[in-house]
Structure 1
Amino acid sequence: MNGRVVVIGAGIGGLVSAALLAARGCDVTVLEKEAWVGGKARRVAVDGAEIDGGPTVFTYRGVFDEVFAACGARLDDHVTVRKAEVLARHWWDDAGGHLDLFSDHDASVAAVGSFAGPAAARGYAAFAAEARRIFEVLEDPFLHGDKASTPLPMMWHMGLARLPEMLAMRPFDGMWAALGEHFADPRLQQLFGRYATYCGSSPFKAPATLMLIAHLEARGVWLIEGGIHALARALAGLAERQGARVRCGAAVAEVLTARGRTSGVRLASGEVIPADTVICNGDPSALATGRLGAAARRAVPAIPPAKRSLSALVWYAHAGTGGAGLTHHNVFFSRDYAREFAEIGAGRSPSEPTVYVCAIDRGADHHAAPPPGSATGGRERLQIIVNAPADGDVHTYTPEETERCTSAMMATLERCGLTLEPSFPHRLMTPTDWEHLFPATGGALYGRASHGWAASFQRQGPRTRLPGLYCTGGATHPAAGVPMAALSGQLAARAIAKDLASTRRSRPAATPGGMSMPSPTTGSTG
């Protein structure tokens, strides 16, 4: 299969599309405005240490096994991956102890029972079964399937015989209320409601369908040596070995058109790169607001600011810690979850936030002390995240406000028993900073929020209104997150391969060397 393809942005989705299309014989060029590949999955230098600067939770690894296999390679030959024993450690206060969830289901049931009693253990088992059922119903037709504007095509594909299963997805039920059916203990309702934030949504506005995220994590969390950025570098190398070119420091200013379809791109430097196909690996808002030219502006609908997902305050820290024993993934909850999300919904940073801490130098087992020599001066590398409103295009965080947010974050940690050294070395990213890095988003990190039953069907799909222009990435179908961005890359590559083949019917669609695109119906064993 021939075809000149330009990918705008070297995030996970764009790199997956680039590798798969290059493996099928396309002439692929990836253009990244920043100095690194990976998009949000980057490294940040703080106090002489390299801090993981983007997503930290790696699940659904079977998607990446498929991508590497389609290119004649193995994931394990390019990154060092180990499965986590402890999925995450959860804290509410210094006196009540903590709750670990495990990769072993029975261990999680027992832990919930020890923490909140036998009824809670039964509730967790029932919740886990429901989350698994929702995931299994949606995995093939939705996560791996083509984007539809309404549920009807997906339901037709599934067949009326599976109508009871469709209703079991609970699209019209609220997530918070559904969790209340399983958990009388408000701490557990809060814990499992937090999974809505994995796609930048409020647990008080998200549909119960999003409970499937808990099952996806329960299937396995992996730690990658070097973080998700190492995975992005591996994908870039994979694409290059298939013949793709990856250029950093190459900002695209405009998508060019001729005869009603894409004809290439013009860089900020003035250089023009011809292309039959252009893939935008970024938030569709950049297209809709004209950041890539007038022709591309008409290609996708705009996302209203009220529909944006969450943004975040993120501290990249090199700090000494004390008190609470950390594992790799840790969550310290606020005392009033409803107030926290009400404040965010009103455009304010939360006065008492829930805080996620990734202790980068620690493993994910019961006793995850930092390995010897991993930190200097008694410090360890941390990424600390607090949810925030996506208003970075209309609100600038002042020094006084960032200091107030830092104090609120540290107060939550201290209430739960974790102390950080005073004035610890760190760099803070606010929604304003995210807007500068990803223009036209307001700092939204997940595209459109998944609020209401129809929201998931309103995400941008791979095809746009402009022939030859496609979208991929975490802000597109099927959802946000590292594996979903990779799935979007697969879907975009599949759509492009089909469209190119339809214009070159005389050319065979087989991949050189006998490789083929992963089947959309292939289940992952991740």
Structure 2
Amino acid sequence: MAAAPTVIIGAGIGGLTSAAILSARGVPVTVLEKEAQPGGKVRQLEVEGVPIDAGPTVFTMRPVIENIFEEAGASLDDHLTLTRADRLARHAWDGTGHLDLFADPERSAEAVGEFAGAKAAAGFRSFSAEAARIFGILDKPFLRSSKPYPPNLMWRIGLHRVGALLAIRPYESLWKVLGEHFDDPRLRQLFGRYTTYCGSSPFHTPATLMLIAHVEQQGVWAIEGGMTALANALEAVARQNGVWFRYGAQVTGIHTSRKGVSGVTLESGEHIPTRSVICNADPSALGAGVFGEGLRRAAKPMAEKDRSLSAMVWLAKARPQGLPLTHHNVFFSPDYAREFAQIEAGHVPTDPTAYVCALDHGEEGASDSASGTAQRFQIIVNAPANGDIHDYTAGEKDQCTSNMMARLRACGLDLDPAGMDTPMQHRLVTPSDFSTLFPATGGALYGRASHGWAASFLRPGCRTKIRGLYCAGGATHPGAGVPMAALSGTLASEAVLSDRISTRWYHRGDIAGGMSTPSAPTAATG
């Protein structure tokens, strides 16, 4: 009799990574995804018939993804075309011009100096050096290891390196430490914004998270075809290794016996026996009983106060005027503290910072669209993760859109200039939509917020309290973002392999090519 497959619930980046690696090791794998395509948060939605990226847009840590393809018996270059960006992002404030950062740190330092003076350039260099030092301390002992607790982390770093532990500055807020490097409040805003990459406030996160800035300085790549091309490539590799994908297959229950996991049940009523399940969903869904009351002990439900940020996300077709755009652009609010205080109070900011991904613009600002045609944009404003308790009305959506457009205009960009034959066309995705798409999160897009020194240790790891049940995805250790979600998938696959060996489940062998099987349909969300 053939061995029961490992079942992966969800075809997000973490689940796809686990599927590709496990299948390359000869483990039979079935992926069950409730949507109609792979990707999870990496997805596209249509505006007037045009697909627009609606998920992550920044691709970093290329070696992580390269290693995953190699472990799956493939080559990244055979599946994706990547172009390294010379210009990382453009940052704008009302009335004070704009500042570009570059892949070359010295070029960035020169740009900072021209923007804010020689002292600011020196501050950028000292900040970059500290961020690199923190990253170097934590990369292998923490980011690439299964969930370490503080004593375990001390052992991994080295008990003799007490100074290194203090150097990661876990007990000081990032906003405070940024003041040691930058007098200019605009630069504190710019480098504080990196904490929003993991859905957190710079006023509450430890200074340790300045390592995110170093990650970006190590390289940002554009993927031909957008981020969905990465999801499709991982799926293709997994299929080649024999993984079965079933779309429109919503899992409603995970079942256990005295020995651990015993199977899953679909919305259609179909039961699939298995002894190992990787849940590529927010672990809070387990703790909230989404997959069955008996699964609540697998993970703790996430309290509303602990949720990371959600977002208001506009997908738009527009003809921009004003400030020249590059691919990644940030338009800052005049009062960062007020902005995050409003979010903390449960409100979308009235004068928000807005991130604009000009999808048809290369890093130098040239549009890939024909002259005069509408271009594609994804615009993000941070919002509270209250989508399960607050339904955004049409009036609120209109007001949020008006506030966002006012911020862009204040910084010199108009996406809906008067007199245009075709006004801006858009659709807006709210925390309510994200809450529906990702159950038990309230729309939190990054799992648990990274607030306080212990937050990183409170994020669930790949193993749960139930034998044979594992977690992967951006809400698990090591954290949010495409490369981190991929690392979580790697850690989950290593845990499955280790446990199969220790319990004599594991039998290496070849598996025939995979297939995609339709199952019970589910309604699209977002």
Q: Structure 1-normalised TM-score?
A: 0.94
Query: 1:428-507 alignment to 2 at 5 Å?
Result: 428-504=428-504
- Residue 322 in structure 1 maps to residue 321 in structure 2: yes
Other-structure match for 1:16? 17
4+ long deviations beyond 4 Å: none
Amino acid paired to 1:352: D
Residue 288 of structure 1 deviates from its aligned partner by 0.9
Paired position in structure 2 for 1:386? 381
For the 8 Å contact 2:287–2:297, the answer to whether it is kept is: yes
Aligned ranges for residues 103-142 of structure 1 at < 5 Å?
103-142=103-142
Percent of counterpart pairs with the same letter?
59
Q: Which residue of 2 aligns with 1:247?
A: 246
Mapped partners of 2:188, 2:121: distance in 1: 13
Match of 2:518 in 1: none
1:304-323 to structure 2, matched below 5 A, reads 304-323=303-322
User: Any conservation in 2 of the 1:260–1:466 contact (CA below 8 Å)?
Assistant: no
CA distance in 1, matches of 2:73, 2:309: 38
Structure 1 segment 147-158 matched on structure 2, within 5 A: 147-148=147-148, 150-158=149-157
Stretch moving more, 416-425 or 181-190: 416-425
Q: Distance in 2 between matches of 1:26 and 1:160?
A: 38
Please identify, of 251-260 and 443-452, the stretch whose mean Cα deviation from structure 2 is larger.
251-260
User: Tell me, what secondary structure is at the counterpart of 1:314?
Assistant: strand
Between the aligned partners of 1:135 and 1:259, the Cα distance in structure 2 is 42
CA offsets 1:80-115 (integer angstroms, 9 cap, x no match): 11001111100011x322100001111111110111
**Other-structure match for 1:62:** 63
Aligned AA (1:322) = Q
Please give the alpha-carbon distance, in whole angstroms, between the structure 2 residues aligned to 1:412 and 1:372.
Answer: 25
Q: How far does residue 44 in structure 1 lie from its aligned partner after superposition?
A: 0.8
Q: Deviations over 1:167-199 (max 9, x none)?
A: 100001110000000000000000000001000
SS at match of 1:36: coil
1:71-220 matches, within 5 Å, as 71-93=72-94, 95-148=95-148, 150-220=149-219
Verify the 8 A CA contact 2:369 2:375 in the aligned structure 1. no
1:258, CA displacement in angstroms?
2.3
2:367 to 365, 370, 385: 370
What is the deviation of 1:152?
Answer: 1.1
CA distance in 1, matches of 2:342, 2:332: 15
AA of the residue aligned to 1:409: M
Q: Is the 8 A contact 2:93 2:334 kept in 1?
A: yes
Query: 3-state SS of the aligned residue for 1:161?
Result: coil
> Does the aligned pair in 1 maintain the 2:199–2:308 contact within 8 Å?
yes
The separation in 1 between residues aligned to 2:289 and 2:72, in whole angstroms, is 35
Counterpart contact for 1:5–1:276, Cα < 8 Å: yes
Q: Deviation per CA, 1:202-223, whole angstroms, max 9, x where unpaired?
A: 0000000000000000000000
Partner residue of 1:279?
Answer: 278
Are the counterparts in 2 of residues 53 and 383 from structure 1 also a CA contact under 8 Å?
A: yes
Say yes or no: does 1:32 pair with 2:33: yes
Could you list the per-position Cα deviations for residues 371-414 of structure 1 after superposition, in whole angstroms to 9, with x for gaps in the alignment? Answer: 243x8x62100000000000000001000000000000001000
| Alpha-carbon offset, residue 2 of structure 1 | 6.4
**3-state SS of paired residue (1:59):** coil
1:293, 1:512 → 2: CA distance?
A: 34
Name the aligned partner's letter for residue 369 of structure 1.
A
* Matches of 1:371 and 1:410, distance apart in 2: 23
**Structure 1 residue 287, shift from structure 2 partner:** 0.9
Q: Tell whether the 8 Å contact from 1:21 to 1:493 is kept in structure 2 after alignment.
A: yes
What secondary structure sits across from 2:227 in the alignment? Answer: helix
* CA–CA distance in structure 2, aligned partners of residues 455 and 470 of structure 1: 20
1:440 deviates by 1.0
Question: How big is the shift at 1:508?
Answer: 7.2
2:267 match = 268
SS at match of 1:269: coil
**Which residue number corresponds to residue 225 of structure 2?**
226
Distance, in Å, in 2 between the alignment partners of 1:146 and 1:382 is 37
* 8 Å CA contact retained: 1:390, 1:441: yes
1:3 is displaced (CA, Å) by 5.8
Verify the 8 A CA contact 2:339 2:349 in the aligned structure 1: yes
Q: The residue matched to 1:408 in structure 2 has which SS? A: helix
Letter in 2 for 1:468: G
The whole-number CA distance in structure 2 between the counterparts of 1:512 and 1:191 is 51
Asked whether the 8 Å contact 1:175–1:211 carries over to 2, the reply is yes
Match of 1:413 among 408, 420, 436: 408
The separation in 2 between residues aligned to 1:371 and 1:474, in whole angstroms, is: 31
Aligned to 2:8: 7
Provide the secondary structure at the position in 1 that maps to 2:298: coil
Distance 1:130 1:206 in 2: 16
Q: What SS does the corresponding residue of 1:297 show, helix, strand or coil?
A: helix
Listed one character per residue, the Cα deviations across residues 239-295 of structure 1 (whole Å, up to 9, x for unaligned) are: 111111111111001001223411111000111111110010011111111111122
Q: Is the 8 A contact 1:283 1:441 kept in 2?
A: yes
Distance (Å, rounded) in 2 between the aligned partners of 1:512 and 1:59: 33
Distance 1:137 1:350, change over 3 A: same
C-alpha separation between the residues in 1 aligned to 2:368 and 2:8?
39
- Secondary structure of the 1:315 match is strand
Q: Secondary structure at the match of 2:448?
A: coil
**2:291 maps to which residue?**
292
Q: Distance in 2 between matches of 1:128 and 1:90?
A: 18
| 1:3–1:26 contact (8 Å) kept in structure 2 | no
Select between 283-292 and 201-210 the one with higher mean Cα deviation.
Answer: 283-292
Query: What's the secondary structure of 2:161's corresponding residue?
Result: helix
Q: Secondary structure at the match of 1:124?
A: helix
Does the CA contact (< 8 Å) of 2:285 and 2:301 recur in 1? no
Partners of 2:368 and 2:310 lie apart in 1 by: 32
Instruction: Give me the whole-angstrom Cα distance separating, in 1, the residues matched to 2:4 and 2:57.
Output: 35
Partner residue, 1:50: 51
What do you get for the CA RMSD once the two structures are aligned? Answer: 1.5
Provide TM-score, normalisation by structure 2.
0.94
Q: Tell whether the 8 Å contact from 1:2 to 1:25 is kept in structure 2 after alignment.
A: no
2:393 partner letter: T
- What do residues 9-63 of structure 1 show as CA deviations (whole Å, max 9, x unaligned)? 0000000001101111111000100111100111111022110110000000111
Contact 1:7 1:14 in 2 (8 A): yes
Equivalent residue of 1:370, what SS? Answer: coil
- Consecutive unaligned residues of structure 1, counting only runs of 5 or more, are 514-526
Q: Whole-Å Cα distance in 1 between the matches of residues 8 and 492 of structure 2?
A: 11
| Equivalence for 2:331 | 332
**Higher alpha-carbon deviation: 204-213 or 415-424:** 415-424
Write the letter of the residue equivalent to 2:179: G
What residue identity is the alignment partner of 1:383? Q
